[in-house]
Amino acid sequence: MRLDPQVKERLKKTFASELLAQKELVKVISAYSLSQDEMHKIVSQFPKYASAQVENKIDPTVIGGFVIQSGSQVIDLSIRNALHLLKKQLYESN
């Protein structure tokens, strides 16, 4: 099955714009709801995300701290991750 070249081009443009929109959206995942000011203070520590749209997602399993997600990039500064790393180190040291 062949696609019409015009349809193919429209699909490419739509896909590219969706990818760009995903990269411009930064999710700050935290255990509780953060104010806009708190979210922007967190994101401002990462100049790469300074101009991005910021969204807060709530995940109680984070326990504390936060996770920043932009596209496929994840920066995990949560208590859950710190405990996981500690557990891993303890198992490896035995």
- Average pLDDT score, the chain: 88
Alpha-carbon gap, residue 29 to 66, rounded angstroms: 5
pLDDT at 60 over 90: yes
What's the pTM?
Answer: 0.73
For 10-38, write each residue's pLDDT tens digit.
Answer: 888 887 777 666 568 889 999 999 998 99
8 Å CB contact between 65 and 48: no
DSSP-H helix ranges across the chain: 5-24, 36-44, 79-93
How far is the CA of 84 from the CAs of 63, 89, 90, in angstroms? 12, 9, 10
